[in-house]
Each structure stands twice: as structure tokens, then as C-alpha cells.
Structure 1
Amino acid sequence: MDGRDWKKFLLPYEQTIEELKVKFKTLRGELKSREEYSPIEFVTGRVKKISSILDKAKRLNVPVDQLETGIEDIAGIRIMCQFVEDIQWLAELIHARQDMKVVYEKDYIENKKESGYRSYHLIIEYPVQTALGMKHVLAEIQIRTLAMNFWATIEHSLNYKYKETLPDEVRTRLSKAAEAAYLLDQEMSSIRDEIMEAQKLFEDNSNLVNKVLNYIQELYFFHRFREAAQFQLRFNEIWEKDDVRALTELIQDLETAIVRAKKGEHA
């Protein structure tokens, strides 16, 4: 170890992780608003522990004074997608961004690792504004499906337990599990349209319900207690019947009632 201040060394990487998580979560929300669908299911991020950085540097023969360029995944973001098709779409969105630069990428989906590991990796250069000025940080973005992530998490735990030397039986079973996860992704892709349509219907219905409840709460705010209670009873009946058309009509009546309430009129 070279006696450096590791806490200060990791600060730009920690800032990079926080900024990237916010940006991809914002992208998710924007895509859902514009496209009514986002390839991003959820986002996580981490900065490597100092011990892991030093272990990797030793394994790759990277001098300690060259960690910033020799270890590309000190900062790592993981983005989960529902479908395999979403991964390439998301990779293209990342390539098109002006706030980060893709240095290179590794496709472990088309070219899976021997262990069965599948994921899509992009190494990016990210400009982070620190107290000492602009710093360009290397970071890794991993994009994978939920099934790929489940398998990779299990493999990581087993590798830790067996110190990277898995027994043959475990290795064989893991390989079979990787193929099962891949087949699951393929099956989900074959009914992608049906799944997306079902999710949209569920989300649309959820948005209608939220709107009704917010409007009823607004009536209480205007002290229209009796009116709000009547609308609540109507909502309860509609909810039992799962009647979307009646729910839409209820929203229209609520909007009219709120306009009257704002004007101080009586029903």
C-alpha cells in the first residue's frame, strides 16, 4: 500500500455513483412519461472496497499509482431490465448521451462466460465536478435482466464461499442454472407484448385510483366532508366491481365538484 489517503481517493467515485444513479432513475421516469415504457426496471450502484481494489490490482499487475486508469470498475452501476431486447436499446441510449463517453463495451450475452455468466458491460468515462475541479472518472455500467442478475448474485456468493475455486459439481449445477435463466428470458421475450400490455393496464388503473383518492382528499381540504364521504362510498362500490368506465366517470364528477369547491359554490 502506498500510504495514500484512501478516503479522499474514493470521493470522486462515490460522487460518480450518486450522480449516475440519479441520472438513470430520472431517465427511467422520463421514458415512462414519454414512451409509456422504460427499459430500466431499477438501478443500483457501488464503489469497490479498498481490499477488492488492491486484490484486483494485484491480479492484473496494476501498479498502485495507476489504479485510476488500470482498474475500470472502481465505480460500478448495475441496471436491471425486464427483457433481453431492452438491454441493447438501453446501451444505445447510453451511447447517445452527451454527459458520459463510452470507452468500450463487453457483450457477455452473445458471448457468455464459461461459467454461464451473462451481462452487458460498458466502460464509460464520466466527468465529475469535485471541489478540486473537473475529474474524468472511469466507471462500469452492467446491464442485465432480472434472471441474469439472480444467477450472477448466486454465483458471486458461491465464489466468495469457495474462494473462486468452485467444486466441479457446483460448477456444473451453476452452468445448468444459467441456461435455465437464459431460457426463462427467451420465454418472457416471446410473450413480451402481452406482458407489457398487462403492465400498462395495471398502471393505468393504478393512476386512476390515485387520482380519485387525491381528489377526495382535496374535497376534505375544502371542508366538503359530506360530499367527500359520498364520493368515497361511490369509489368503494366501483372498486368492488373493478369498473374502469365508472371510475373514469367518477373522476369527471370529482373534478366538477372540486371546481365548485374552489369557487365556494354549494352542490
Structure 2
Amino acid sequence: MINNLEALKKVRSELTRFMMTYQFGLSEMNTKLTILQEEFQHIHDYNPIEHIKTRIKSPESIMKKMYRKNIPISTESIKHNIMDIAGIRVVCSFISDIYRISEMIENQKDVTVIEKKDYIKNAKPNGYKSLHLIVSVPVFMSDRIEDVYVEIQIRTVAMDFWASLEHKIYYKYDSLVPERLTKELTEAAMVANDLDEKMEQLHNEVSHIKDQNSREQDLNFLDLNEDRLYLPINFLRDFIRDAEEEK
């Protein structure tokens, strides 16, 4: 009895530590993204990140996935076969922002990209669109360094809205969605995609106009200050000439 109790305590301790590493890995990646978000907000004139959402799979959800995939039940097996225990969803304003954020993540030296799936250029049959990254981040524990997998989904507001509603509908019908609703969901995904493309076009046009106005303002500023720029130069030249004559 005592041996069984000790064994249970050991398993519990291992599982607690195992899940904690994913929580720490998630916090590490979330901090990186939050830094980018705040930098854009305070330094740049445009912030591509609308919001960030994080989640950790529950032990029950992990067990169900292991059962479906026929994976042996052990922490090592879970670590090497289930890579979406820790997840982050980054919602952006425009399609171009998705690739911009993805590139910034991929360029971070302590982030290793394990897998990349572009469901924007290659949408799923039901219309689902998003950019998925599986990355590995180091977590520094008291006695070792653990490399933790984190799944990052990057999508636009329209993509996120559609995916959230699609998930709720499938959950309500327990995945047995009538064919008519499936067809309408696919059509709704196409409408969301059209909206994204239209907003991207408007965004590019506004950015072009803004750049043009900025260049014109710079030229006007130089024209207005041209004489002022010459005054200090002329003064300095005359001062040097007078000093040389005095010698």
C-alpha cells in the first residue's frame, strides 16, 4: 500500500512538473509577442496585432488525443507526439500582417521553427484559413533546460470570427453538422476571404497616400528652411576668413 502511494505521488509530481514546463514555455512565447505588440503600439505608427490569446490543453484533452492516435501513455511519448499542448492565437488586422509577424517570430534567435503550415495560401476544404507555426522555446528550470513546443496560430479578425463560429456550430452538433450548414459555412468562409482581400487593398491604398503626403511634407519643409540652412554656413565661412586675415 505504501509503495503504491509513493508511486502515485511520483507520477503526480512528474505530471505537475511536465505541465508546468508547457505553462512556462507558453509564458515565454507570450512575452515575446507582447513585447512586439507594445513596441508597435508605443514606437511605430501602426500596430499589426489586434489581440493575443493563450491556452493550455487540459489533461483530459491530452488523454483523448493520445487515445485517438494510439499513443503510449508516458510523458516522453506525449512530448514527442503532441505538439499543440501549449497554444497561442495571434489576431492581426490584415493578411500582410500575418506574414510580417510570422517572420519576426522566425527571426528570433532562441525560437526554433519545427513546422509551418500555411492554410491561407492553401485553405482547408471547409474554408478554414490561418498560418500555423510549431516552435520550440527553451525553458530554464532549476536543474535543466527544457525545449517546449508551442503552437502559434496567426490569422485576421475575419478568419478568427469564422473559425470561432465554425467551432461553436460543430460543438453544438457534436461534429455531425448537416450538409446544408456545412455548405453555408464554406460560403461564409469565402465571404470572409473576400472581405480580407478588400481590406488589404484599402490598407495598401491608404499606406501609399500616407507615404506620398509624408514625402511632400518633407520637401516643403526643406524648401521653407533652405535659406536658414545656408545662414550658419555663411556665418562660419566668414568667421574663418576673418580669423585668417587677423593672423
How does the TM-score come out when normalised to structure 2?
0.74
Render the CA deviation track for 1:115-147: whole Å, top value 9, x for unaligned.
111000000011011234210011101000011
**Alignment RMSD (CA, Å):** 2.2
2:151 corresponds in structure 1 to 140
2:174 corresponds in structure 1 to 163
> Residues 48-127 of structure 1 correspond to what in structure 2 (within 5 A)?
48-65=57-74, 66-127=77-138
How does the TM-score come out when normalised to structure 1?
0.69
1:245 corresponds in structure 2 to none
In the alignment, is the contact (CA less than 8 A) between 1:77 and 1:140 conserved in 2? yes
Q: Determine the C-alpha separation between the residues in 2 that align with 1:21 and 1:59.
A: 29
Offset at 1:87? Answer: 0.9
Residues 71 and 195 of structure 1: is their aligned pair in 2 closer, same or farther, counting only changes over 3 Å? farther
Higher relative contact order (CA 8 A, sep 6+): 2
Is the deviation greater in 14-23 or in 113-122?
Answer: 14-23
In the alignment, is the contact (CA less than 8 A) between 1:25 and 1:42 conserved in 2? no
Offset at 1:45? Answer: 0.6
Render the CA deviation track for 1:78-124: whole Å, top value 9, x for unaligned.
10110001111111111110121111100111111111110000000
Partner of 1:172, secondary structure, is helix
Residues 193 and 33 of structure 1: is their aligned pair in 2 closer, same or farther, counting only changes over 3 Å? farther
Offset at 1:196? Answer: 6.2
Percent of aligned positions with the same letter in both sequences? 37
- Unmatched 5+ stretches in structure 1: 199-267
One-letter code aligned to 1:71:
I
Residues 10 and 56 of structure 1: is their aligned pair in 2 closer, same or farther, counting only changes over 3 Å? same
Q: Determine the C-alpha separation between the residues in 2 that align with 1:32 and 1:195.
A: 19
Is the deviation greater in 30-39 or in 73-82?
Answer: 30-39
Offset at 1:197? Answer: 9.2
Q: Determine the C-alpha separation between the residues in 2 that align with 1:63 and 1:106.
A: 26
